[in-house]
Structure 1
Amino acid sequence: MGMERAQRFVDALTRLEESGDLEGLVSLFSDDAQVSNVASPRVFSGQDGARQFWKEYKGTLGQVKSTFRNMIEAGDRVALEWETQGTARNGAAVAYEGVSIIEWDGDRISRFFAYFDPHALGQELSHGTAQRSEVPATTPA
């Protein structure tokens, strides 16, 4: 199976970030999926919850691009190490990094959870003041 599941998720997220295709990503989630991240006080449930979670993600940032440095797939679990760059709605540059853990049940995602520093992201979103990781002058393809 290789990295098939990891790549399916990455491809769907890329389509969301580039063209706003929300449903392509949502279709990967099961009807009873749990979706959240370290900054969220709640767990979003099912495809409707996944839709809301990813709509809020895309709505929080203007332009956004995630780059994946490391993808690990073992059985029904995927770990993705990433950096996301973009702009906040106020125009401030945003760059943050983290790890997402994805659990699959067959061909659907049953659990998604992202880990990152929510304080640093909050500073960048509201003020554009958090220290950023070094960002290359050009965005990788």
Structure 2
Amino acid sequence: MAMERARRFVDALTRLEETGELDALLALFGEDSQVSNVVSHRTFHGKDGARDFWAEYKGMLRQVKSTFRNMIESGDRVALEWESNGTAHNGAAVSYEGVSIIEWEGECISRFYAYFDSRVLGLELSRGSAPRSEAPATVPA
């Protein structure tokens, strides 16, 4: 079935974002998996590492919802183009976009890596001052 792996990941991530429930997402990761992103200073290993990574993701924002523009699946590789919107713990609006690459071995994810503009996200989380968080300017008539 085309896009089956991409859909499994997206459905599990949606469950995490909506309910905080990690189990469906963690069930996708293999014992030797690697999980990271552009802002992490380390690679998280195995199911325990995946648990730590996704708990940090969910804990970073008070509320978050990801939407997916493109899902590409070819063989054992999935590429997801996404935008995540939410609210930081300081009340600031957060909106950032990126791409996640997922590598599969059989039925398990062996590697997950997310690419996004960490500067924009950092400004939004700390001060709510990134351009995407600011109210749109009004244009004089």
TM-score range, shorter chain: over 0.9
Question: 1:38 and 1:77 mapped to 2: Cα distance?
Answer: 19
Kindly, what percent of the aligned residue pairs are identical?
73
1:33 paired residue number: 33
Q: Please, what TM-score do these two structures have when normalized by structure 2? A: 0.93
2:52 paired residue number: 52
1:100 paired residue number: 100
Question: 2:35 and 2:83 mapped to 1: Cα distance?
Answer: 19
- The CA deviation at 1:122 is 0.3
Q: Equivalences for 1:1-141 in 2 at 5 Å?
A: 1-132=1-132
Structure 1 consecutive aligned stretches of length 4 or more whose deviation exceeds 4 Å:
none
Q: Which runs of 5+ in 1 are unaligned?
A: 134-141
Q: Count residues in correspondence.
A: 134
Higher Cα Rg, which structure: 2
- The CA deviation at 1:82 is 0.1
Q: Which runs of 5+ in 2 are unaligned?
A: 134-141
- The CA deviation at 1:97 is 0.1
What is the SS of the residue equivalent to 2:110? Answer: strand
Q: Please, what TM-score do these two structures have when normalized by structure 1? A: 0.93
Question: 1:17 and 1:69 mapped to 2: Cα distance?
Answer: 17
Question: 2:42 and 2:23 mapped to 1: Cα distance?
Answer: 21
Q: State the Cα RMSD in Å.
A: 1.2
What is the SS of the residue equivalent to 1:34? Answer: strand
What is the SS of the residue equivalent to 1:124? Answer: helix
Question: 1:22 and 1:58 mapped to 2: Cα distance?
Answer: 9
How big is each residue's C-alpha offset from its partner over 1:73-120, in whole Å with a ceiling of 9 and x where there is no partner? Answer: 000000000000000011100000000000000000000000000011
- The CA deviation at 1:132 is 1.3
Question: 1:28 and 1:15 mapped to 2: Cα distance?
Answer: 13
What is the letter of the counterpart of residue 62 of structure 2?
A: G
Question: 1:130 and 1:71 mapped to 2: Cα distance?
Answer: 27
What is the letter of the counterpart of residue 96 of structure 1?
A: Y
